[in-house]
Amino acid sequence: MSGTDSTARPLLELQGVTKVYGRGAAAMQALRGVDLRIDAGEFVAVMGPSGSGKSTCLNILGCLDTPSAGSYRFGGVEVGTLSRNQRAELRRHYLGFVFQGFNLLNRTTALENVELPLLYRGMHIAERHRLAREALAAVGLAGWETHTPGELSGGQQQRVAIARAIVTAPDVLFADEPTGNLDSARSREIMELITAFNRERGLTIVMVTHEADMAAFATRRVHFLDGHIESDTRAHDFMETA
């Protein structure tokens, strides 16, 4: 699942992508002509210092932002030609998101939190319950369906967030500093869980992290600096230099 077949169509592809925020003297160029190809089944860690462009890149790949120039294709479809509603549909049906801050509804049970993406799809309640229970079981939280976030540890809350992200069976899981609010033991548990989804289900993972020990779980590391990709290495390369 390393995505090394250069003849296959990439799942995600940026070509000459730039992103500028602001205008005139206040303009800030976050991305400067980025080319990036990610194939189905890859686990990519996106790294770099603050302001390097890594989060901007993730937001564009996740259809949360649009390039100022250049091309972004998802599954061969030019995302720049899609309307705002079409991009929202793409996110809803093909993409999953996990964030550092969990982003759970505090007064809502774990089951109800996981059901939310299915509710937006208009799915029948019985099917929502079934899929949400399966997703919670997949992250090790069977039996915790009725607990609210306040009754869960940080690691458990992130597991609920991951269950919510995978309940729709997305093509890509985007994770933005998914272990940033967790201690080292819980961080490792979460990374092992994410890695299992990549290895066992072939789920494509794109994860922003500044922690080298978390990035070590990935099969590829893309390092940003000053809006450019400074390096792009695969597992066998950085294992040899470790």
Q: How many domains does the chain have?
A: 1
Structure tokens at 24: 């005139």
- Does the residue 32 lie in any domain? no
pLDDT for 68 equals: 95
The candidate with the shortest Cα–Cα distance to 80, out of 100, 55, 96, 60, is 60
- Does the residue 204 lie in any domain? yes
pLDDT for 105 equals: 94
pLDDT for 2 equals: 39
pLDDT for 7 equals: 53
- Does the residue 69 lie in any domain? no
Non-local CB neighbours of 57 within 8 Å, separated by 6+ positions: 14, 17, 31, 34, 36, 46, 224
- Does the residue 31 lie in any domain? no
178-201 pLDDT tens trace: 999 999 999 999 999 999 999 999
pLDDT for 4 equals: 46
- Does the residue 81 lie in any domain? no
pLDDT for 185 equals: 95
- Does the residue 112 lie in any domain? yes
Using DSSP bridges, classify how beta strands 43-47 and 220-225 pair: parallel, antiparallel or unpaired: parallel
Roughly how many angstroms between the first and final C-alpha of the chain, as a whole number?
22
CATH at residue 202: 3.40.50.300
- Does the residue 71 lie in any domain? no
- Does the residue 82 lie in any domain? no
Q: Count of H helices and E strands in the chain? A: 8, 10
pLDDT tens by residue, the chain, 242 residues: 334 454 568 999 999 999 999 988 888 999 999 999 999 999 999 999 999 999 999 999 999 999 999 999 999 999 999 999 999 999 999 999 999 999 999 999 999 999 999 998 889 999 999 999 999 999 999 999 999 999 999 999 999 999 999 999 999 999 999 999 999 999 999 999 999 999 999 999 999 999 999 999 999 999 999 999 999 999 765 555 44
Full residue range of the structural domain in which residue 106 is found: 41-64+91-240
pLDDT for 236 equals: 62
pTM of the model as a whole: 0.91
pLDDT for 17 equals: 98
